[in-house]
Structure 1
Amino acid sequence: MPTKYDLAIIGSGGGAFAAAIRATTLGKSVVMLERGTLGGTCVNTGCVPSKALIAAADARHVAADASNRFPGIATASDTVDMPALIGGKQALVESLRGEKYADIAESYGWQVRQGDAAFAGTPDVPVLEVTRSDGSLATVEADQYLIATGSQPWAPPLEGLEETGYLTSTTAMELTEVPESLLVLGGGYVALEQAQLFARLGSKVTLLVRSRLASKEEPEVSRALEGTFADEGIRVVRRAVPTRMSRDAGGEVVVSADVAGGAHEFRADKVLVALGRSPVTDGLNLDAVGVKTGDVGEVAVTDQLRSSNPRIWAAGDATGHPEFVYVAAHHGTLVAENAFADVERSVDYARLPRVTFTGPAVGAVGITEKQVIAAGIRCDCRVLPLHHVPRALVNRDTRGFIKIVVNADTSEILGLTAVAKDAGELAAAGVHILGKTIAEVADAWAPYLTMAEGIRIAAKAFTTDPSRLSCCA
């Protein structure tokens, strides 16, 4: 096998594959180095398996709730066959790993090597030393290098945590039994999705949240989700700071926490720690080749994703940038073009949509009301409750809202947030209305009985009381 390539990539997730595809189409030779399972986080332990289980839990929830929403419909939900559910999830993962990763690499013709890679050499002449599974070493040289090693669940230095044992978003999706009770530490998107997932599978769930649910989103999101979670029997404890973990004589996990200044104890069969993720850069020997890192180990990069070493780039979660697989994929393509096509493209997150796959979901794009005010822009906002959206009425599910944030001086749309079924699609549509005026969106075509029509109605709400609108008017 050759030992000198145009591009050597550490990792095999979304960012790595996007870079390899683009570099290959530019006629460059590529080698991909993976120490674990091909495909990275998204297909193996992240987006694909979690959303597959969320969809299954939603189907069970709908079956249990359908008779309440739709007169004349009688349904029921049985207990969950967890081994079968996990088996189906794993079959999907393996299928996609083959079709979208192994087969893709083979079709483009780049090499995938198994081994643990670390930098060696000097900043001027960096190389990779690869430790194979049998302990033997190989050296890989390249003109350019890409760090696409992703991230992993992060756990705080909480007393008793390691000794007691805990679940992460990865290990929770391998459980063969539904926990009778579950404590979830965290209030971000992973915590919210996993809490509702297990509640809908039959667990009694308590969320311990330091501030509020989805604290980076509009405050209306937190209130809407708290109401939904309360309806589904999920207990939310705010202003809770865990201080210690232990296990009692009966085997239950005990979490001691400071709640609004007072000490409390919470008990459950299992504890899921969902307090964020950290970049996987330990062991890469980055100092040896002059690659600087940040406070949590993220590779420090320019807007073009070049590290402090001009021949070494980084993409995806390893950069500390927004942790979405579509961001990683965008990064990968951008790195390949900057490295080999001299285009000097920069990353721009101004229109980056984000989705939390709760039920109802949370979708957002652009900036929030708080961010607009902090930027010194005079703000105008409208929050449209979903009972004004015909699609929500026929779905018999009016939980949620659509909020539009506007520059009051120009009527330009700066942000959109939705809590609704298919809120992700609303966020995707919102990408295309940022920068447009309220009048342009209010006068635009929108098909009746779609959730996206709600964006048009929310725009009309700036000038018209939505309760005085007829269907389509």
Structure 2
Amino acid sequence: MNHSFDALIIGAGQAGPSLAGRLTAAGWKVALVERKNYGGTCVNTGCTPTKAMVASAKAAHTLRQAAHYGLAPVGEVTADLAQVKARTDRIVAASRTGLENWLKQMPGCTLFRGTARFVSPTAMRVGDEVLEARHIFLNVGGRPVKPALPGIEQVPYLTSSTLLALEELPAHLLIVGAGAVGLEFAQLFRRLGSQVTLVERNARLLPHDDDDVAAAVADILTNEGITLRLGAECISLGQENGRPVVHVSCEADSSPSHGSHLLLAMGRLPNTDDLDLEKAGLLADAHGYLTVDEALQTATPGIWALGDCNGRGAFTHTAYNDFEIVAANLLDGGQRRVSDRLPVSAIYLDPPFAKVGLTEAEVRAAGTPALVGKRPMTKVGRAVEKGETQGFMKVLVHAETDQILGASIVGVGGDEAIHCIITAMYARQTATFMRSNMFIHPTVSELIPTVFGELQPLRAELKATAST
């Protein structure tokens, strides 16, 4: 059966439902297709469940530190993973159900269940239905990659999605991959009571960030008893007595790591492989991403790619901003571009790491004349009062124009405080402007003007450390 619409949206992740809301409010007839769970990765297997678990892990960690705050020790703290999961599931279900109900009640929006595949540049098949539209928006998301590791076919393993189904705490969790997923799961499961070994191919954590950031994050993890195995150049998998083993080739230590459970966290890939793209005149790149222009339109007119599948940022905030760009350009006569947005992200360790703009390494590589300001969290009153003094805040400023180039904060409240700098950068404000601000005391943010007031030349021969 054929159906005709003004717009066809594939995927109910962060961009899809909001776009449906804007288009239907403008009088468009919209079809939205979802083959699994409304809300996409963020709601179901990403931000919402993992940050709920991070909160449970934080509570356990705080209880163990009772004596540090002058309280009577509470004894051994144990986690009931089934109850942690039940709490997480309730939060996820409420978010997913609310989104689904909103879409079902949305005038002008028709929902379809199933996998959509192109039959032409203006039509897609979902089961026995053919949906036609002049405007097609691909918001198909991504999934954990299955890495080509020797032995992977013979060893049971978990992904960031399947790990969420566990109801019994792993005795010893082996994690291969130290990106955001690997780092966050390493800390939260350690705090819940598991032994954790984190295996990473690179010689240090966070190879795309500065050395001082990587060192600070490594200190956070090792101080909590997490074993880091870095520089694991050759990784293979095996089993001994029915339990997973990770074999590595390292100059420092080539002994295998044994555990009770194995998590592979070695990246994600976009869900573009079953769209029959060629029938729409489209071709994904070697990594599965669809090339888009500044307005997020693909090489085929009338087809846009939003969210994880366009290679322009695999975050919830970038996916939602994709929606905003497309809606503004289509409905409001806007001329918004992807390149207008700043690169911003955070890793939700405790304390978190957040960043905006350029790193120190990028500034050095470009040869940009720059100034740097840096303050350890041990000199931030709010951090001292909370007893959470790990990390630092760092800002980078163009030495000639006074423009803010970037910032990194590893420390308590850093994921919120960074927004002071993000807003200033969007407003194209300067370091001089930041120094003149008065912030509320006592907060972490109040020291941001101070850091901008302590700028020093970024000398090429200097190498920053986490302790300076």
Task: State the secondary structure of the residue aligned to 1:453.
Answer: helix
Structure 1 residue 165: Cα displacement = 1.5
Match of residue 236 from structure 1 = 228
Cα distance in 1 for partners of 2:100, 2:255 equals: 47
Cα distance in 1 for partners of 2:340, 2:253 equals: 40
Give the AA of the match of 2:369.
Answer: R
Task: State the secondary structure of the residue aligned to 2:148.
Answer: coil
Match of residue 402 from structure 1 = 393
Structure 1 residue 100: Cα displacement = 3.2
Match of residue 91 from structure 2 = 92
Q: How does 1:175-214 map to 2 (within 5 A)?
A: 175-211=166-202, 212-214=204-206
Give the AA of the match of 1:172.
Answer: L
Match of residue 305 from structure 2 = 314
Structure 1 residue 205: Cα displacement = 0.6
Contact 2:103 2:109 in 1 (8 A): no
After superposition, the C-alpha distances for 1:358-388 in whole angstroms (9 at most, x for unaligned) are 0110011111111122223112212210111
Give the AA of the match of 2:17.
Answer: F
Q: How does 1:334-373 map to 2 (within 5 A)?
A: 334-348=325-339, 350-373=341-364
Cα distance in 2 for partners of 1:307, 1:399 equals: 44
Aligned residues: 453
Match of residue 29 from structure 1 = 29
Counterpart check, 1:287 vs 2:278: yes
Taking structure 1 as reference, are residues 201 and 261 closer, same or farther at Cα in structure 2, changes over 3 Å only? closer
Match of residue 272 from structure 1 = 263
Counterpart check, 1:79 vs 2:78: yes
Match of residue 461 from structure 2 = none
Give the AA of the match of 2:221.
Answer: F
Q: TM-score, normalised by structure 1?
A: 0.92
Cα distance in 2 for partners of 1:272, 1:299 equals: 28
Match of residue 467 from structure 1 = none
Unaligned runs of 5+ in 1: 132-136, 464-473
Cα distance in 2 for partners of 1:4, 1:420 equals: 52
After superposition, the C-alpha distances for 1:412-437 in whole angstroms (9 at most, x for unaligned) are 21111101112110222221222432
Task: State the secondary structure of the residue aligned to 1:243.
Answer: strand
Match of residue 471 from structure 1 = none
Give the AA of the match of 1:455.
Answer: I
Taking structure 1 as reference, are residues 33 and 333 closer, same or farther at Cα in structure 2, changes over 3 Å only? same
State which drifts further: 164-173 or 372-381: 372-381
Counterpart check, 1:445 vs 2:438: yes
Cα distance in 2 for partners of 1:443, 1:461 equals: 13
Cα distance in 2 for partners of 1:334, 1:443 equals: 33
Cα distance in 2 for partners of 1:443, 1:170 equals: 46
Structure 1 residue 104: Cα displacement = 4.5
Match of residue 38 from structure 2 = 38
Contact 1:353 1:427 in 2 (8 A): no
Give the % identical residues.
31
After superposition, the C-alpha distances for 1:191-214 in whole angstroms (9 at most, x for unaligned) are 110110110111111111122222
Q: How does 1:363-402 map to 2 (within 5 A)?
A: 363-402=354-393
Cα distance in 2 for partners of 1:348, 1:101 equals: 32
Unaligned runs of 5+ in 2: 457-468
Cα distance in 2 for partners of 1:192, 1:243 equals: 18
Q: How does 1:20-169 map to 2 (within 5 A)?
A: 20-68=20-68, 70-76=69-75, 78-121=77-120, 123=121, 126-131=122-127, 137-169=128-160
Task: State the secondary structure of the residue aligned to 1:37.
Answer: coil
Q: TM-score, normalised by structure 2?
A: 0.93
Candidates 308, 315, 319, aligned match of 1:328? 319
State which drifts further: 346-355 or 439-448: 346-355
Structure 1 residue 349: Cα displacement = 5.6
Structure 1 residue 155: Cα displacement = 2.3
After superposition, the C-alpha distances for 1:307-343 in whole angstroms (9 at most, x for unaligned) are 1110111100011221111111111232234345553
Cα distance in 2 for partners of 1:383, 1:366 equals: 16
Structure 1 residue 160: Cα displacement = 1.1
Q: Provide the aligned C-alpha RMSD in A.
A: 1.8
Cα distance in 2 for partners of 1:459, 1:337 equals: 35
Structure 1 residue 242: Cα displacement = 4.1
Taking structure 1 as reference, are residues 56 and 72 closer, same or farther at Cα in structure 2, changes over 3 Å only? closer
Cα distance in 1 for partners of 2:344, 2:248 equals: 34
